[in-house]
Amino acid sequence: MAQLEQLEQSAAPGSEWWRTAVIYQIYPRSFADASGDGIGDLPGITSRLDDLKSLGVDAIWLSPFMTSPQKDAGYDVADYRDVDPLFGTLADFDEMLAQAHSRGIRVIVDLVPNHSSDQHAWFQEALKAAPGSPERARYVFRDGRGENGELPPNNWQSVFGGGMWERVTEADGTPGQWYLHIFDATQPDFDWTNEEVKEEFRSILRFWLDRGVDGFRVDVAHGMVKEAGLPDYAPVADADSMGGGEEYVPYWGQDGVHDIYRDWHQVLAEYDGDRALCGEAWLPTLSRTALWVRPDEMHQTFNFPYLMTPWDAQQLREVIRESLEEFGGVGAPSTWVLSNHDVVRHASRLALTADNPQGEGIGPKSEGKPDQVVGLSRARAATTLMLALPGSAYLYQGEELGLPEAMEIPDEFRQDPTWFRTNGERYGRDGCRVPLPWSADAPAFGFNDTGASWLPQPAEWATFAREVEEKDADSTLNLYRRLIELRRDRSLGTGSLVWEDAGADAVAFHRGDLHIVANLGEQPIELGEGVTFVVQSEPFAGTAVPPNAAAWFTRA
Ligand code: GLC
């Protein structure tokens, strides 16, 4: 209990931990593999908590580890109240949670409420039950169009490619109704107008809150409510399939979702310790995104407009300004994020020279592949900038090593449903999900003892191994450590910033006596006399910040 008290000290209103936290996303299947089967697991995470402690993060968010047939890497949950044997047991979870808490690290779990797996007991019951039954009413079943119901109920297209409806065979063997799936056909959407669904999820929240989790990352938090009547809808050409680019989509960002989060807010409020909800909501504007974090709804939402901003100073200044204004306008902290398990890693993305819509990925035949040296410099500069911003920042495992996207994964290893549903037209997200390198000379780079790895690790990742970076004072790992430590020492997570003018290609501001500048242009930016550097995104001599670099400094 003494250890938990350490976590609860920030409970004063306005100083809740999630307002300023640096939160590290663990993708369990690729973090650390204690069992040696090639897929990471909960005991693996527990064994590496000291590494996260020394990185300095405040919290971890675990992508799903619940019982699942793994058709979408665990985002297809068959039992919301148990751990998939691939990852361990509930006892392993409890141990991991206790060990994290004892190190002062909070734990957020991923909740997937938009859809379940088709192997979930409810969906299996729905398949056996008749059209119009209460079992079917938990999901979105509809009769098809056409003379014999042979056409899908509407024209919606799945995020992973292909149609959004799958036809079932009824108990008597005849072709029957269709069910809706925004994602893969193995991920049927729940009907969130159904009271039974609402009650079930309140109970699932309580199950994990009772175990002691500090919050939830809520998957597809903009998709759970669909426009009544499910009207046809033609997406704008090249629209972001997760909804980030379009004003109105009948299944993204419907007003009704907010009632769900107001309800959940109340559930979390019954618990002590500032439990938090963070929504995954891809919306076209920051003002829309901020609706998810009004005072009685979620606590945080991912800042995807920030993540999607290209390497351009003017656009970056604008998105930071707007983020602080819009989130601040509803009393919520801004969040910041550059990478996650759904997007091309930012050490590659920031130097791409061709368009790459979210979810497309990069593979052997992609155009516009990045110059890796430029990519890594930009990534380090981008993080140096991000960790100086007020609010809460999300890191994705491996970015602290400067890992690039794995761009040459052979086709036969691919696992993302996007790859299969588009017949290989889109590579999907496997390239950002490759197991981490821990040591240069061990099997699977120390991911486990056996050398097994569910996705192949690029040979050149030896140089990114944590053990190698530990020993190099200028490594990306040591840069992240320094940034996180200084951010904490100087309380950079709270407060505001004052913009400075360092030219059109710079993003520059100060926080008290600390100045921050990032150079997104092609010419060095001279800072002049009296400068003392506190951090440089990569080592440089003199007082001019080179292109693709950033620095924190003070002035005499
Ligand atoms: C979210 C997850 C993604 C998953 C999808 C369907 O976008 O981040 O990985 O495929 O939801 O659950």
**pLDDT at residue 240 in the model:** 72
pLDDT, tens digit, for every residue of 156-172?
Answer: 999 999 999 999 999 99
Q: What DSSP designation does 163 have? A: B
Partners of 106 in the beta sheet? 59
Kindly state the average pLDDT of the residues 67-78: 98
- Reported as a single tens digit per residue, the pLDDT across 375-422 is 999 999 999 999 999 999 999 999 999 999 999 999 999 999 999 999
CATH number at residue 520: 2.60.40.1180
- Grade residue 367 by pLDDT with cuts at 50, 70 and 90: very high
**What local confidence, expressed as pLDDT, does residue 125 receive?**
98
C-beta separation of 525 from 505 below 8 A: yes
Q: Which long-range contacts (CB under 8 A, 24 or more apart) does 492-498 make?
A: 492/387, 492/388, 492/389, 492/390, 493/19, 493/20, 493/21, 493/22, 493/333, 493/390, 493/391, 493/392, 494/15, 494/19, 494/20, 494/390, 495/390, 496/324, 496/390, 497/324, 497/389, 497/390
- Band of pLDDT at residue 239, cut at 50, 70 and 90: low
Read off the pLDDT of residues 86-120 as tens digits, 9 standing for 90 and up.
999 999 999 999 999 999 999 999 999 999 999 99
pLDDT at 14: 82
In a domain, 520, yes or no: yes
pLDDT at 7: 55
What residues are in contact with ligand 1 under a 6 Å CB criterion? 72, 75, 112, 183, 219-220, 280, 341-342
User: What pLDDT score was predicted for residue 247?
Assistant: 84
Instruction: Please say if the pLDDT value at position 236 is more than 90.
Output: no
Whether 13 has a pLDDT exceeding 70, the answer reads no
- What are 491-519's pLDDT values in tens digits? 999 999 999 999 999 999 999 999 999 99
**219 C-alpha to ligand 1 centroid (Å):** 6
Structure tokens at 188: 């049927």
Domain end, chosen from 130, 164, 180, is at 180
User: Is pLDDT of 11 > 90?
Assistant: no
Considering the domain boundaries, does residue 300 fall inside one? no
- Neighbour tally for 269: CB within 10 Å: 11
In angstroms, how far is CA 48 from the centroid of its own chain? 20
The CA distances from residue 270 to 108, 202, 205, 267, in Å, are 17, 12, 11, 6
Instruction: Kindly state whether residue 522 falls inside one of the protein's structural domains.
Output: yes
Among 133, 156, 180, identify where a domain stops. 180
Q: What is the percent of the chain where pLDDT is above 90? A: 94
Q: Average per-residue pLDDT in the chain?
A: 96
Residue whose CA is at the smallest distance from ligand 1 atom 9: 342
Q: Is 259 a catalytic residue?
A: no
Range of the structural domain that residue 137 is part of: 121-180
Q: How many domains does the chain have?
A: 2
Structure confidence at residue 223 (pLDDT):
98
Ligand 1 centroid from CA 361, angstroms: 14
Q: 436 lies in a domain?
A: no
Residue 206 has pLDDT above 70, yes or no: yes
Strand partners, 60: 24, 107
| Distance (Å, whole) CA 97 – CA 298 | 23
328 has a pLDDT exceeding 90: yes
The angle formed by the CA atoms of residues 243, 246 and 249, to the nearest 5 degrees, is: 70
Among the three residues 165, 180, 195, which one is the final residue of a domain in this structure?
A: 180
Spatial separation of the C-alpha atoms in residues 115 and 302, rounded to whole Å: 20
Q: What is the pLDDT of residue 6?
A: 53
Residue 530 C-alpha to ligand 1 middle, in angstroms?
49
User: Of all protein residues, whose CA lies closest to atom 2 belonging to ligand 1?
Assistant: 219
Asked if the structure places residue 157 within a domain, the reply is yes
pLDDT in tens, 331-351: 999 999 999 999 999 999 999
63 CA to centre of own chain: 8
Look at residue 298 and tell me if it is in a domain.
no
Mean local confidence (pLDDT), 8-30:
85
pLDDT of residue 9: 44
Binned at pLDDT 50, 70 and 90, residue 1 comes out as: very low
Would you say residue 525 lies in a domain? yes
Pocket test for ligand 1, best of 218, 220, 396 (most atoms within 8 A of CB): 220
pLDDT tens-place string over residues 266-292: 999 999 999 999 999 999 999 999 999
pLDDT digits (tens, 9 = 90+) for 299-311: 999 999 999 999 9
374 neighbors 402 (Cβ within 8 angstroms):
no
Distance 366 CA to ligand 1 centre (A): 23
270 catalytic residue (yes or no): yes
Residue 245 has pLDDT above 80, yes or no: no
The string of DSSP letters for 383-430 reads HHHHTTSSSEEEEETTGGGTPPP-----GGG---HHHHHTTTSS--SG
Residue 68 lies in a domain: no
Q: What is the pLDDT of residue 120?
A: 98
pLDDT for 244: 78
| pLDDT above 60 for 4 | no
* CATH code (residue 146): 3.90.400.10
